[in-house]
Structure 1
Amino acid sequence: MDEAAAKHGLKLLALWDNGIRHISNNVRPINTPEDLQGLKIRTPPDPMTLQIFTALGANPTPMAFSELYVALQQGVVDGQENPLMNIDSSKLFEVQKC
């Protein structure tokens, strides 16, 4: 894989197998970091993600992924962040409008 990247003038530093992260919520569209202000966002329970969302002004809420659908449905959290693959396969779009 490193050779394929080099052919295009790129140096492969690392791979992320889950894709780019996306945020959805039931309050408002997220177009800028300021749009996260005050939103209660479910995050994985890891210190780095908690620090990132705190720095962005959100209220990060660590929670197991298995609890997320019901938490969104019941309004325990306003939104979540995940790769599109996880959002689609877990049908989170059924309980999120933005």
Structure 2
Amino acid sequence: MAQNHICELCNRSVSTITKHHLIPLEKGGKKFETLSLCPTCHKQIHALFTNRELATHYHTLESLKRDQKIIKYLRFIENIPADSYVNIKKSRHVRKSG
């Protein structure tokens, strides 16, 4: 039987979990704390914020959960079955800086 994990951002029970570095690796985050996130939440975070923004403003679970874009996303995702595929598109602002 597959083991279920709890996503630290959306709190849904999922079969697959990813590690999100609160300080992105390219910004020196290898030795810093990580979050256990479902793939959908992990993709959403990187679609909304640049690595620079993550390193400077969103380097804690609390700071992520206070952001209005994340709050809106969490309201949306709570009604989606946990292991469903959700197409995540990078925001224009992230695409421009990437």
Q: Bigger radius of gyration, 1 or 2?
A: 1
TM-score normalised per structure 1: 0.29
TM-score normalised per structure 2: 0.29
Structure 1 or 2: more strand by fraction: 1
Q: Determine which structure has greater relative contact order: mean sequence separation of CA pairs < 8 Å that are 6+ residues apart, divided by chain length.
A: 1
Structure 1 or 2: more helix by fraction: 2
